[in-house]
Amino acid sequence: MEQTKKKIRTMEGLVVSDKMMKTVVVEVERTKKHPKYLKYYRVTKRFKAHDENKQYKVGDKVIIEEMRPMSRDKRWKVVSKIA
């Protein structure tokens, strides 16, 4: 049997809160197509991401990566900052 490796999901977003200990809130924006009117509109979703060294601040554009659950709603970690 062949082992299929699960692809790790990554997303790009903006840090909107850094008030928690070792956690930042990242807002990810994407476009969605309306089923009837076929117009694209923006949809935003917020994810809590792990930030071990508290190095990311509000306004930073970051890449987050899916990982094992660390708490009730923290399932992402910040990988890097986008310049």
Sketch the domain layout of the chain as residue ranges: 19-82
Report how far residue 1's alpha carbon sits from residue 4's, in angstroms, rounded to the nearest whole number.
9
Indicate the pairing of strand 74-82 with strand 40-50. Answer: parallel
**Which class is 19-82 in CATH?**
mainly beta
30 near 58, Cβ under 8 Å?
Answer: no
31 near 40, Cβ under 8 Å?
Answer: yes
Task: Report pLDDT for 3.
Answer: 77
pLDDT digits (tens, 9 = 90+) for 15-25: 999 999 999 99
The Cβ-side half-sphere exposure at 9, using a 13 Å CA radius, reads: 6
**pTM score, whole prediction:** 0.88
Residues of the chain with pLDDT under 70: 1
Report how far residue 53's alpha carbon sits from residue 59's, in angstroms, rounded to the nearest whole number.
17
Lookup: tokens for 56:
């990311």
Task: Report pLDDT for 62.
Answer: 98
**CB within 8 A of 55, min separation 6: which ones?**
none
